[in-house]
Chains A and B, each alone.
Chain A
Amino acid sequence: MKINWFSPLPPARTDIAHYTTRVLPALTELAEVTLWTDQSDWDQSLTKQVAVRSYRLGKIPWVELNRADANFYNIGNNPLFHSSIWQISRLHAGIVVLHDLRLHHFFDDIFRVNWRDLDSYLAVMESYYGEAGRLDASECFHGNARNIDHMAEHYPLTQLAVEHQLGVVVHTGEAFDILSRDQDCPLLLAPLPFNAKRNIEASLSKAGGPPYRLIAFGYIGKSRRLLSVLKALADMPERSEFQLDVYGDILDDEDQLRSQIRALDLKQQVHLHGFASEKKLDEALGQAHLSINLRYPTMGEASGSQLRIWSHGLPSLVSQVGWYSSLPAETVAFVRTDENEIGDIQLHLRALLKEPKRFEEMGRLGRRVLEAEHAPARYVQAILELAKQSQARRPQVTMNRLADRTGVMLSEWANSRTAVEAVENVAKEIFELGRVG
């Protein structure tokens, strides 16, 4: 099977790039793979495993896409990494691997910010959510109107990424449930793949403690709840029993974060390391006792970071929302959101001091879930099977696009009896043209 795989590639700072490197060995076992990238710089070691093709929008060699048995489009919430991929997917149907469920930020950035095309953004909102959607969208950017997080929650715009595709892969039960309500194309729920590290020791027994080493890593924005963690620590008399290491870029105001740390008198406990190489991060995870992997609000994504944490056999605190809330209770410690957040963090940290063995077991069980459900080979088998089945869907996709085109044309005859009859005739014939069997 010949497949094209569109994805950010390392060293792009997104877990989706790492995800691609994680699935690649299993993928190349079963298919002839070409990676496609619009990055100017990518990890050249990938070329030892597969062909890597560089592309530019506007100069896509469509013949290569048409020759493939399947084209996979990895779509996440960051336009920097996924805007081109999404645009290609709109022109050539394939399998969308959906890494985020709520894509409003993504499309808002593309339409309104990058293209400065408010009209198209509003038209899209109206198309999916009617007049109310359009109104909310237009108010969203006026004065004290609704903010973008509200928009993402209520108007996820997921359909814009998956409509007219041959198949969709999601990694969370939430995404599967929501999309299966109004998705007519094959939909696959496949747990995010991750290769468990070969040899680990249970984190607590190998390093000892207290003080216990806490670790938070990734792109540290507001949704990572670092401020809540700091406040929780600051209010605890046992704070000296913990050391918190933070790895990754601080997306918001780093100076402000540092002054908060000083103001809360946590300089001895909290260390900001900035971006770290994969190797260094693995070393840090190997030395940690507990990972803090909070995410609120969540865009509905499965967390590659969580799988990495489990891979190290680490226990973790996670927000009790979205995908995280679906994790087995014995594998993570849940932190409720809003007013309970700080209290829950403190509760778990105290529990760690009292019952380290329970947390050790939590990490071990998490690792077991990882090994049982997230094996890349199983994942790859499932998505390739979907790709095979979905090829038969191309005529329906073509007819859906035809229905869109004729719908626009017929809407110009709106409100006339003739238009209704025309729509019925057209709909019947489009159905016949695309009918299977």
Chain B
Amino acid sequence: MRILIATVHVPFIRGGAEVHAEGLRDALRAAGHEVEIIAVPFKWYPAERIIDHMLACRLLDVTEVMGTPVDLLIGLRFPAYLIPHPNKVLWILHQFRTAYELWDHQLGDLIYSPNGAEVRDAIRHADRHFIGQTKVVYANSANVAARLKFFCDINASPLYHPPPHADKFHTAEAEDYFFFPSRLCLPKRQSLVLEALANTKKPVRVRFAGAADQPAYQSELKTLARKLRVHDRVEWLGSIDEEKKRDLYARCLGVIYPPIDEDYGYVTLEAMLASKPLVVCTDSGGPLEFVRDEETGLISEPEAAKLARAFDRLWQDRNAAKKMGAAGNALYREMNITWDNVVRKLLA
């Protein structure tokens, strides 16, 4: 089959969504298909640009290339999933979140635009109309599927996929640090972790890996760490390569991942692959689909003192941490999170 994967790309920004699209492309190619990614450049401000991009996507014709039909279009991200095609399957990573669950939220920015409500309703309207027209709709996670149902009354099945290089993760003896790999940005809540560290009774240490979305934010975090007097218990590793990341996973005591309402979250799966317990929050979204409290990790209220108790608990009880990590790994295997499964379902 000739398959196109439709997504969007914010120039110079690379994250999980890009990795996801490439993973899907590679899996489809491995299954013998001819596959390309079409990434529409995306800019979301001023708010009317979002509408312009929606129209731009609707005007694209990808039904055929030089007389040869494109057999299937797989839409991943807004507004690229609006691109028309007679044989379209959606596997929605997430909708345009500030028009939905992040509308009146600390992470939302659309609500601050003069025409925010108009643009929000236009996005919702188009989603209901065009996603609703699509025969098969998958969501990146149960969390994303639940949002589709709640906001648009659209039924979608969660379809999990493995993180990149899933087969290369390994485990090792736990050392004296927690690992928190993520882009440094507000939704990931590194600052909450620093505040929690200031509340621990044990000398808990955290290694943060990942580049900052905005350089100023990294400085803010460092300043906060100094202010809280935890700067000597944290390390800022910045952007690291995959091998180094897997090594840090393998040797850590546990993985901290407390984002706000994450869609899916590779970190959760990577921790499970490395047989490490996770500490997540009750409002973390996607990760909650994989972490079972007291079995594969700890689920805490998003409050510094409570999070600190979870850190102390694993820091003190290494055996429990190890057991939880092993249980997480076993759970991952049970869930059949494979590209083969993804390809089979998308092409069914």
**Interface set of A (CB-CB < 8 Å, partner B):** 60, 62-63, 65-67, 91-93, 391, 394-395, 397-399, 401-402, 405-406, 425-426, 429-430, 432-435
Contact = CB atoms under 8 A, between A and B. Distances in A.
9 contacts: A65-B117, A66-B112, A398-B48, A402-B55, A425-B59, A429-B55, A433-B58, A433-B125, A435-B129
B126 A405 contact: no
A430 B119 contact: no
A401 B52 CA distance: 10
A34 to B, nearest CB: 16
**Which of B59, B104, B117, B121: most chain A Cβ within 10 A?**
B117
B51 interface: yes
Contacts of B125: 395, 433-434
Contacts of B126: 395, 433
B122 A398 contact: yes
B11 interface: no
B108 to A, nearest CB: 9
B87 interface: no
B115 A426 contact: no
Given A426-B59, A432-B58, A62 B121 contact: no
B279 interface: no
Interface residues of chain B: helix, strand, loop or mixed (majority)? helix
B114 interface: yes
Contacts of B104: 67
**Which of A394, A402, A430: most chain B Cβ within 10 A?**
A394
Interface of B: 48, 51-52, 54-55, 58-59, 104, 111-122, 124-126, 129
Contacts of A402: 48, 51-52, 55
Nearest to B108: A63
B114 A406 contact: no
B104 to A, nearest CB: 6
Contacts of B115: 91-93, 398, 401
Contact of A429 (B48, B59, B116): B59
A66 B55 contact: no
A62 B113 CA distance: 6
A66 B121 CA distance: 11
Nearest to B124: A395
Interface residues of chain A: helix, strand, loop or mixed (majority)? helix
Given A66-B111, A433-B126, A93 B51 contact: no
A62 B55 contact: no
Given A394-B122, A395-B122, A433-B58, A405 B116 contact: no
B99 to A, nearest CB: 11
B204 to A, nearest CB: 38
Contacts of A91: 114-115
A255 B160 CA distance: 85
A93 B111 CA distance: 14
Given A63-B116, A66-B117, A434-B122, 15 more contacts: A62-B111, A65-B117, A66-B113, A67-B104, A394-B120, A394-B121, A395-B118, A395-B122, A398-B118, A398-B119, A401-B118, A402-B55, A433-B55, A433-B58, A435-B129
A391 B125 CA distance: 12
Contacts, number: 80
Given A425-B59, A429-B59, A405 B122 contact: no
A66 B119 CA distance: 10
B111 A63 contact: yes
B114 to A, nearest CB: 4
Contact of A433 (B54, B113, B114, B118): B54
Nearest to A93: B118
Given A398-B118, A426-B59, A62 B48 contact: no
Contacts of B113: 62, 66
A434 B55 CA distance: 11
A93 B117 CA distance: 9
A283 B104 CA distance: 51
Contacts of B124: 395
A406 to B, nearest CB: 7
A63 B59 CA distance: 32
A399 B112 CA distance: 20
A63 B47 CA distance: 13
A92 B114 contact: yes
Nearest to A398: B122
Contacts of B111: 62-63, 66-67
A397 B118 contact: yes
A433 B131 CA distance: 12
A220 B49 CA distance: 48
Contacts of B122: 394-395, 398-399, 433-434
Nearest to B57: A429
A274 to B, nearest CB: 42
Contacts of A435: 129
Contacts of B119: 398
A93 to B, nearest CB: 6
A378 to B, nearest CB: 28
Contacts of A394: 117-118, 120-122
A248 to B, nearest CB: 38
- Report the 3 A-B pairs with minimum CB-CB distance, sorted nearest first: A398-B122, A394-B121, A395-B125
Nearest to B125: A395
A63 B98 CA distance: 13
Contacts of B59: 425-426, 429
A435 B111 CA distance: 23
A437 B122 CA distance: 13
Nearest to B61: A425
B258 to A, nearest CB: 26
